[in-house]
């Protein structure tokens, strides 16, 4: 049994995405590592769109159907042109609603929030992962081997759109600073020239900084540590259909244990535009290691 439970979910009563909803200016709650949950905020499918709640619309190569920005290109979907246009319009509507919503919740980020991928996930997540590193049923922070973030934050808006009453089941874990301290001895500096080489070889989209290296080391250390997965402070959280939730997924320890049919919007925010930049993983890691982490 886990040693302790973690209470990081904060619930809000909002039932509208629009600008006149009640919750606003909650940057401190988000930035201190909470998950903001809105159990009455559903993303409604029209009767015509309900046919998309079926894994057959994913093309088989990707598990997600997504719209890329700024191009607005639809990826990962299979179907007739007319259907794909309707599917894309549905996903774009989620992008627009979640963007307006994020700017109401976090007005401090106005003008600085950049829209990342918008995805629709009609496939059940219980399928076997290709490797332990890709196994998102293990607690982790989000960090990507090929896409160095250079300290930029990952803000995510999720909505469970399951039509059969099935929850999205998560586990959440310890605060980021506690997590970084746990694996501090594993946070080794990149080898000289390694970042240049990986970028030159096309392994990374740009140079991997020491910050990116440390975030990947944390991601991998946690996923590879069975005792941590089993016994660290954590809680199970079920997000019922019709629930929206928001968090910084590069800060909140999370694991996706089950569920099918979800919308997800990613936003990027440079750490300097946080209300409390000292709460960011970059600042925490620089403080703990005593090093500047964006220079390599
Ligand atoms: Fe994740």
CA 139 to ligand 1 center in whole angstroms: 8
CA 166 to ligand 1 center in whole angstroms: 20
**Helix, coil or strand: residue 226:** helix
CA 156 to ligand 1 center in whole angstroms: 10
Q: What is the DSSP string of 81-117?
A: HHHHHHHHHHHHHHHHHHHHHHHHH-GGGTTT-EEEE
Average pLDDT of the segment spanning 232-259? 97
CA 117 to ligand 1 center in whole angstroms: 14
CA 192 to ligand 1 center in whole angstroms: 29
CA 288 to ligand 1 center in whole angstroms: 23
Residue 3: predicted pLDDT: 58
Q: What is the DSSP string of 256-294?
A: EEE---EEEEEEEE-GGGSSSGGGSHHHHHHHHHTS--S
CA 144 to ligand 1 center in whole angstroms: 10
Average pLDDT of the segment spanning 94-121? 97
CA 90 to ligand 1 center in whole angstroms: 23
Token duo for residue 139: 């607690």
CA 37 to ligand 1 center in whole angstroms: 17
pTM as predicted? 0.95
DSSP character for 201? T
Tens digit of each residue's pLDDT (9 = 90 or more) over 130-166:
799 999 999 999 999 888 999 999 999 999 999 999 9
Residues 6+ apart with CB under 8 A from 225: none
CA 252 to ligand 1 center in whole angstroms: 9
CA 137 to ligand 1 center in whole angstroms: 9
Phi, psi (deg, nearest 5) at residue 56: -65, -15
CA 283 to ligand 1 center in whole angstroms: 21
CA 153 to ligand 1 center in whole angstroms: 13
Residue 40: predicted pLDDT: 98
Q: What is the DSSP string of 22-90?
A: S----HHHHHTTPEEEETT---PPPGGGGGG-SGGGB-SS-SSEEEETTTTEEESB-S-HHHHHHHHHH
CA 80 to ligand 1 center in whole angstroms: 31
Residue 170: predicted pLDDT: 97
Residue 107: predicted pLDDT: 98
Residue 207: predicted pLDDT: 86
Average pLDDT of the segment spanning 168-191? 93
DSSP character for 187? -
Q: Is the pLDDT of residue 59 over 60?
A: yes
Average pLDDT of the segment spanning 118-133? 86
Average pLDDT of the segment spanning 1-30? 91
Helix H or strand E segment including 235:
strand 234-239
Q: Is the pLDDT of residue 296 over 60?
A: no
CA 255 to ligand 1 center in whole angstroms: 7
Mean pLDDT over each residue of the chain, to the nearest integer: 93
More confident residue, 2 or 284: 284
Residue 235: predicted pLDDT: 96
Average pLDDT of the segment spanning 46-71? 90
CA 29 to ligand 1 center in whole angstroms: 20
Lowest-pLDDT choice from 123-127, 159-163, 179-183, 221-225: 123-127
Rounded-to-integer distance, Cα 57 and Cα 141, Å: 29
- The answer to whether the beta carbons of residues 10 and 105 sit under 8 Å apart is no
The length of the chain in residues reads: 296
Residues with CB under 5 A from ligand 1 (ion): 142
Q: What is the DSSP string of 115-166?
A: EEEEEEE-S-TTSPPSSGGG-TTS-B----TTS--TT-EEEEEEEE--TTSP
């Amino acid at each position: 049994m886990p040693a302790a439970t973690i209470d990081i979910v904060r619930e809000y009563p909002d039932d509208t995405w629009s600008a006149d909803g009640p919750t606003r200016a909650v940057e401190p709650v988000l930035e201190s590592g909470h998950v903001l949950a809105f159990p009455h905020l559903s993303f409604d499918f029209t009767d015509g769109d309900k046919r998309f709640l079926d894994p057959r619309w994913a093309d088989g190569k990707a598990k997600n159907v997504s719209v890329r920005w700024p191009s607005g290109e639809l990826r990962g979907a299979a179907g007739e042109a007319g259907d794909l246009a309707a599917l894309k319009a549905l996903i774009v509507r989620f992008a627009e609603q979640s963007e307006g919503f994020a700017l109401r919740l976090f007005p401090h980020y106005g003008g600085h929030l950049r829209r990342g991928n918008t995805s629709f996930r009609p496939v059940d997540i219980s399928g076997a992962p290709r490797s332990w590193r890709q196994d998102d049923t293990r607690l982790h922070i989000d960090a990507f081997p090929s896409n160095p973030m250079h300290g930029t934050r990952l803000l995510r808006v999720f909505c469970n759109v399951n039509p059969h009453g099935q929850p999205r089941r998560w586990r959440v874990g310890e605060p980021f600073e506690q997590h970084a301290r746990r694996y501090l001895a594993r946070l080794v500096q990149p080898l000289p020239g390694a970042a240049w080489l990986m970028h030159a070889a096309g392994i990374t989209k740009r140079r991997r900084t020491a910050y990116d290296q440390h975030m990947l080391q944390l991601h991998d250390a946690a996923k590879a540590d069975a005792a941590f997965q089993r016994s660290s402070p954590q809680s199970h959280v079920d997000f019922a259909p019709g629930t929206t939730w928001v968090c910084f997924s590069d800060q909140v320890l999370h694991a996706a244990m089950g569920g099918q049919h979800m919308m997800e919007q990613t936003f990027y925010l440079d750490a300097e535009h946080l209300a409390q930049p000292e709460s960011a993983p970059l600042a925490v890691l620089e403080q703990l290691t005593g090093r500047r982490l964006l220079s390599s």
